[in-house]
Amino acid sequence: MAKQRDRELGMNRAITRRDFLNGVALTIGTALVPSQLFASGSNFAPEKAADYYPPGRMGLRGSHVGSFEVAHNLRDGDFWEHAGEPSDTNEEFDLVVVGGGISGLSAAHYFRKAAGQNARILILDNHDDFGGHAKRNEFHIGHQFRLGFGGTFSIESPAPYSSVAKALVNELGIDVASWSKVVDRNLYKSLGLSPGIFFDKETFGTDRLVIDPRPLAGGEAADLSVNAPDAWKRFMAQAPLSAVTKRDLERLTHERKDYYPDLSSAQKKDRLARISYAKFLTEVAGVSNELVHLYQAAPHPLFGVGVDAVSAQDAWGLGYPGFEGMNLDAGPGPGMNRDAIRSEEADRYFFHFPDGNASIARLLVRKLIPAAIPGNTSADIVTARANYARLDDSASPVKIRLNSTAVRVRHRGDVASVKEVEVAYVRGGKLQSVRGKNAILACWHVVIPYICTELPSAQKAALASAAKVPLVYTNVAIRNWTSFKKLGVDYIHSPGGYHSNVALDLPVSLGAYHASRSPEEAMVLHMSRTPCRPGLPAREQHRIGRMQLFTTTFETFERNIRDQLARTLSAGGFDPARDIAGITVNRWPHGYAYEYNSLFDKFWLEGGEQPCVIARQRFGRIGIANADAAAYAYTDAAIDEAYRAVQEITSSAASSARAW
Ligand SMILES: Cc1cc2nc3c(=O)[nH]c(=O)nc-3n(C[C@H](O)[C@H](O)[C@H](O)COP(=O)(O)OP(=O)(O)OC[C@H]3O[C@@H](n4cnc5c(N)ncnc54)[C@H](O)[C@@H]3O)c2cc1C
């Protein structure tokens, strides 16, 4: 039976699954033994090969096999027993940056502005591609070329971009105001498509796709407007929900009831900040558990948890139903998550490249190392092919060294007076070290206590508390999207699905890149999965989800993707065996920066020092960046924190009268 189902789903079909075997072979529980970590030897230079091109790789990407084993070994404590002493490459830099995401690349950019164009900078990253979460996925489907985003989706932030971040966006030549010209905003509406909701039989007793009359914010729909005037009526007729739940839904959505009539607006917000939306629904609004199941996964893509771990105040901020009659003042209450505080100014500042913010990373790389990426506009960057062989070139003052995990960053003597930092890293199984006058750690904060052991213990504890939110961004290349047209959907939320959302790509045409505009053309579907364990505190849910991601094979992902798409779309003629041309699963066990939550972080609700403030303190010649430094999972935070870290190390350099 299982074999037959696998055949129907196309598990045997020849699509590119380059990383498949590795994905099966390696898990967190089977970390490489030290002898394997130090296996490759000194001639390791895969980036120099003509066919080295990570954006084209499929299978299990994101935190791909080969990127995390060294760091996990360091975490597990026995790394230095087997590593020996690093061999000095005899390179000296003005700045060594750990982490080649947008924060690390921005730090290099700002440092160069302060120290001059000839400043020697080395950027180390443990992945085979630069950009951190801002990764690019490429697909060739017959003669059609399609791009997808493997992580960071767009220039957007619930709070307005700072003048610093805006200035960088401008400097990179990105015209945010041109957004409406590059996106074909009405394409899907003109084809009669609307958001849908897929009820799965495991959760709701039957598989059924229904137009969603009131899609909730927090998902990834490009457009939440519903294109069907009778959607509510149809939903009530077709949704496989009990009569009680339908009545509850009707009441919750349309009734204007004040559940706390004796409290002031401020007191109500305080109360809502202390209970989850799930509890508010069942214990305050008195709706059925089935309705909670319907809403459970709505905030997954935004928070990495469901409504059990999102406060009712945040749900109110996001516009979820139940609060219309509560007479709450417009402003945010204490402890509100920044994602739940909307700002019109911030909403207007939106731009999406076909590969997401990978284009920002690529524009930064082109600024730092012009020989690595051809072209000179923010439109031609979209189709420009990066030459990875030029990233780490002896002739260039700025170098990006991929496949390199930093394992030790320390001052070469007394922190107060010494003029050099040593950075040791493992690359191709070899432990090497370089020297820098300064270092910026733009990597994930949880890693820092392991690589920079000389930091004060309170700072290490604060850094360690920044464990990230696990997420999966899957891109599925399909040969056509006629099934979406037939079913009348452009975005499908699946409350009980393996992936909670399936979306047609945003139709953006920029430079020489043209989006799929006709249902007969190839398309990249974007799917997102949030591994979590409802009912537990958020950080615990993230920890369990992270473990789950490191131990899930590509085969499991693929089977679930094919099964979910088949069950959702087959009524529209979709055949996974025939229609799927490629799958890239971008797994991010260390995904979003952890944002504080009024349900679990008392200091956030009641006041007190935020761990990220303690975590990001400069230590001697070592500055600390990354979006974690702001506890804010957005690109502007990555940029702002890079700017701050550079200011800190350059102003301390000036005060100690030291030339670069
Ligand atoms: C799936 C996903 C979607 C997102 N979508 C958006 C969005 O739409 N808009 C938005 O503004 N933000 C989004 N974000 C948030 C995103 O994290 C930030 O916008 C930004 O890209 C973070 O940049 P960063 O440089 O701070 O961190 P990262 O991108 O994480 O870069 C840090 C780099 O340091 C590397 N590193 C870690 N340890 C070491 C070590 N020991 N040695 C060497 N390298 C190391 C990491 O592997 C990584 O490559 C998203 C994040 C995820 C995960």
For the residues 553-578, what does the mean pLDDT come to? 97
Joined tokens for residue 139: 């697909």
Beta bridge partners of 400: 123
pLDDT value for 2:
80
User: Residue range 206-229: average pLDDT?
Assistant: 83
Q: What number is the average pLDDT over the span 460-465?
A: 98
In this predicted structure, the answer to whether residue 660 has a pLDDT above a threshold of 50 is: no
Task: Decide if pLDDT at 140 tops 60.
Answer: yes
Per-residue confidence band for 227, with pLDDT thresholds at 50, 70 and 90? confident
What is the reported pLDDT for 43?
A: 81
User: What is the rounded CA–CA span in Å between residue 559 and residue 7?
Assistant: 11
101 Cα–ligand 1 center, Å? 6
pLDDT range class, residue 542, cuts 50, 70, 90? very high
Residue 21 has pLDDT above 50, yes or no: no
Could you give the CA distance from residue 490 to residue 191 in angstroms, rounded to a whole number?
10
What are the residues whose beta carbons fall under 8 Å from the beta carbon of 130, sequence distance 6 or more?
Answer: 100, 105, 123, 361, 365, 391, 400, 402
> In the 3-class helix/strand/coil scheme, how is 119-154 assigned residue by residue?
CCEEEECCCCCCECCCCEEEEEECCEEEEEECCCCC
- 526 alpha carbon to ligand 1 midpoint, in Å? 19
Please give the structure tokens belonging to residue 38. 């130090």
Q: Give the position of tokens 């909701």.
A: 197
Predicted pLDDT at 39: 58
Residue 19: pLDDT above 50? no
In terms of pLDDT, which residue wins out, 470 or 14?
A: 470
How far does residue 457's CA lie from ligand 1's centre (Å)? 25
Instruction: Give the confidence band of 85 by pLDDT, cuts at 50, 70, 90.
Output: very high
- The predicted pLDDT at position 397 comes to 98
Selection from 147, 184, 133 nearest residue 360 by Cα: 133
Q: What's the pLDDT score for residue 34?
A: 53
Region 23-46: mean pLDDT is: 55
Q: Mean pLDDT over all residues of the chain?
A: 93
Ligand 1 centre to CA of 152 (Å) is 8
User: What percentage of the chain reaches a pLDDT higher than 90?
Assistant: 89
- The secondary structure of 254-277 as a DSSP string is H----S-TTS-HHHHHHHHHTSBH
Which residue has a Cα nearest atom 5 of ligand 1? Answer: 152
pLDDT at position 134:
98
Pocket of ligand 1 (CB under 6 A): 71, 98-104, 124-127, 132-134, 151-154, 156-157, 357, 405-406, 442-444, 447, 451, 471, 473, 588, 591-592, 626-627, 633-635, 638
What is residue 614's DSSP assignment?
Answer: H
Mutate to test the pocket of ligand 1, among 105, 133, 475 (most ligand atoms within 8 A of CB): 133
pLDDT at 315 over 80: yes
Q: Residue 449 pLDDT more than 90?
A: yes
Tens digit of each residue's pLDDT (9 = 90 or more) over 504-527 = 999 999 999 999 999 999 999 999
Strand ranges (DSSP E) for 14-120?
Answer: 59-62, 87-93, 95-98
The alpha carbon of 111 and the centre of ligand 1 are apart by a number of angstroms equal to: 20
Residues 6+ apart with CB under 8 A from 331: none
Q: What is the pLDDT of residues 250-276, one digit of tens each?
A: 999 999 999 999 999 999 999 999 999
Mean pLDDT of 49-75: 96
In angstroms, the CA 400 to CA 307 distance is 41
CA-to-CA distance for 178 and 182, rounded, in angstroms?
7
Provide the pLDDT confidence category of residue 30 given band limits of 50, 70 and 90: very low
Whether the CB-CB separation of 322 and 285 falls below 8 Å is answered with yes
Distance 132 CA to ligand 1 centre (A): 4
User: What pLDDT was estimated at residue 26?
Assistant: 37
Among protein residues, the one with the nearest Cα to ligand 1's atom 33 is 99
Q: Does residue 159 carry a pLDDT above 50?
A: yes
Q: In the block, which residue shows the tokens 């509890």?
A: 279
Cβ atoms of 526 and 515 closer than 8 Å: no
| Residue 218 pLDDT level (bands cut at 50, 70, 90) | confident
Interval 615-638: pLDDT, tens? 999 999 999 999 999 999 999 999
How many Å apart are CA 553 and CA 544, to the nearest integer? Answer: 16
Give distance in angstroms: CA of 369 to centre of ligand 1: 21
Distance 105 CA to ligand 1 centre (A): 11
Average pLDDT over every residue of 346-375:
97
Is 305 in contact with 278 (CB distance < 8 Å)?
no
Per-residue pLDDT at 20 exceeds 70: no
Token digits of residue 311: 């406060």
% the chain with pLDDT above 70:
94
- Ligand 1 binding pocket mutation candidate from 443, 445, 595 (most atoms within 8 A of CB): 443
Q: Is the pLDDT score of 31 beyond 70?
A: no
Provide the pLDDT confidence category of residue 589 given band limits of 50, 70 and 90. very high
Best residue among 635, 639, 641 to mutate for probing ligand 1, ranked by most atoms within 8 Å of CB = 635
Does the predicted TM-score (pTM) go above 0.85?
yes
- pLDDT at residue 368 tops 60: yes
Residues 6+ apart with CB under 8 A from 613: none
Compute CA distances 234 → 210, 228, 295, 547, whole Å: 8, 9, 19, 41
Residues 6+ apart with CB under 8 A from 249: 241, 287, 291, 294
Structure tokens at 266: 């401020």
